[in-house]
Structures are given as structure tokens and as C-alpha cells.
């Protein structure tokens, strides 16, 4: 799994649909890790907790980009990061691209 901040900051000239696909893929990878993690050791439990937090964070970011608003539980840092990416999306093209088929609105 990649660092979310680094991932979002590395995206250049990307459209909203591609951003949503990438974030959805990252969230799914985190959920798969949650489901496959065994909880026998403290290290394994810590990895599962990290994956749960990552999935929740990605879901909040997805919601921001889908709805254009911050959601409860979003940190100020994540709001700022998402707004920065949102500004890049607007600079690159349309502020709102059509929805991606198969993604939750």
C-alpha cells in the first residue's frame, strides 16, 4: 500500500474519474488486507488497525471528491490535501467530470 499523501501529491494532469478509480482501488486493497489479516500477534493486530484506519481515511477522501464536501471525521490535514488536489483538478480541466460507471456516488 502506498502513502496516501504522497500518492495524491504525485498525481498530475489527472481527471476526476481516474482519481476516483485510484482511490477506490487503494481503499479496496486496504479492505482486503483487513479481511485477510490474522490477529495472533500484536504486530498482526497493529497491521489490521492500520489497514482499517487507511480504508476509513480513503473512504472519507472518496466522499470528498464525489460530493465536494468534507465529511465528519476528516482531519484538517486531509481537508487541506483534498482541496489542493481539487484545485489541481479544476486547473487541469472540468471541476466535475461525469460519474464513473460502477462507482458508488
Q: State the pLDDT at residue 105.
A: 45
pTM value > 0.85? no
pLDDT at 98 over 50: no
Alpha-carbon span 103 to 105, nearest angstrom:
6
Q: State the pLDDT at residue 48.
A: 86
Helices (H), the chain: 4-10, 16-36, 42-67, 76-92
> Is 101 inside any structural domain?
no
Alpha-carbon span 62 to 5, nearest angstrom:
14
Average pLDDT, the chain: 82
> Is 100 inside any structural domain?
no
> Is 17 inside any structural domain?
yes
> Is 50 inside any structural domain?
yes
> Is 104 inside any structural domain?
no
- The total number of structural domains in the chain stands at 1
8-44 pLDDT, tens per residue?
Answer: 888 767 888 888 999 999 999 988 888 876 667 888 8
Domain membership of residue 85 as a residue range = 4-92
Q: What average pLDDT score do residues 39-57 get?
A: 86
Amino acid at each position: 500500500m502506498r502513502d496516501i499523501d504522497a500518492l495524491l501529491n504525485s498525481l498530475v494532469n489527472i481527471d476526476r474519474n481516474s482519481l476516483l478509480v485510484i482511490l477506490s482501488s487503494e481503499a479496496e486493497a486496504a479492505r482486503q488486507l483487513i479481511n485477510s489479516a490474522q490477529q495472533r500477534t500484536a504486530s498482526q493486530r497493529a497491521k489490521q488497525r492500520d489497514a482499517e484506519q487507511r480504508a476509513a481515511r480513503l473512504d472519507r477522501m472518496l466522499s470528498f471528491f464525489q460530493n465536494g464536501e468534507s465529511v465528519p471525521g476528516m482531519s484538517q490535514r486531509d481537508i487541506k490535501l483534498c482541496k489542493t488536489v481539487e484545485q489541481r483538478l479544476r486547473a487541469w480541466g472540468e471541476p466535475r467530470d461525469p460519474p464513473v460507471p460502477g462507482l458508488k456516488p
